Amino acid sequence: MKDGPQDIFQLDDIKLLVDTFYSKVQLHPLLAPVFNQRIGDSWEPHLQKMYSFWQTVLLEEYTYFGRPFPPHAQLPIESAHFEAWLQLFNATVDELFAGEKASEAKWRAGKMADMFKAKLAYFRTHPGNII
């Protein structure tokens, strides 16, 4: 009998998820230009940050101390970007993992996307307010 995908258990799992997801992002026609404009070739610090972020959220190992929203505040992103981001993220999770943490990863990503969209809508209609 073939074993199906396992759940997300440890930092190596997080790294696999993050690396696989952002390698897809780098090929995505809508998302890649946004990242390239902002971070160019410096993917390593971004990936490190994302390992910490997901390690904190999913494994409750508290290594991320940043504020997720501010770097997104000035990005040229609309609903279509969030839909593409989530679709790619969820597909990557499903391709690699299955279980409670895998479901939580997708749920958290969706919640964060909703929050970012709400904040962006607010800041775009109330310019001058920071955070």
The answer for residues whose C-beta is within 8 angstroms of residue 21's C-beta and 6 or more apart is 88, 89, 92
Question: Amino acid identity of 101?
Answer: K
Residue in 91, 14, 85 with CA at minimum distance from that of residue 54? 14
Interacting span for ligand HEM (CB under 6 A) from 7-15, 91-99, 107-115, 123-131: 107-115
Q: Which of 15, 24, 46, 119 touches ligand HEM (CB under 6 A)?
A: 46
Size, binding site for ligand HEM by CB under 6 A: 22
Residue 105 binds ligand HEM (CB under 6 A): no
- Residue whose CB is nearest to ligand HEM in the complex, by number: 66
Residues annotated in the binding site for heme, as ranges? 46
Question: Amino acid identity of 128?
Answer: G
Residue in 18, 126, 19 with CA at minimum distance from that of residue 73? 126
Residue 101 binds ligand HEM (CB under 6 A): no
99 and 7 in contact (C-beta within 8 Å)? Answer: yes
Nearest residue (CB) to ligand HEM, 32 versus 100 = 32
Nearest residue (CB) to ligand HEM, 1 versus 66 = 66
Residue 128 C-beta: closest distance to ligand HEM, Å: 22
Q: Which of 8, 85, 92, 120 touches ligand HEM (CB under 6 A)?
A: 85
Report the distance separating Cα 2 and Cα 24, nearest Å: 27
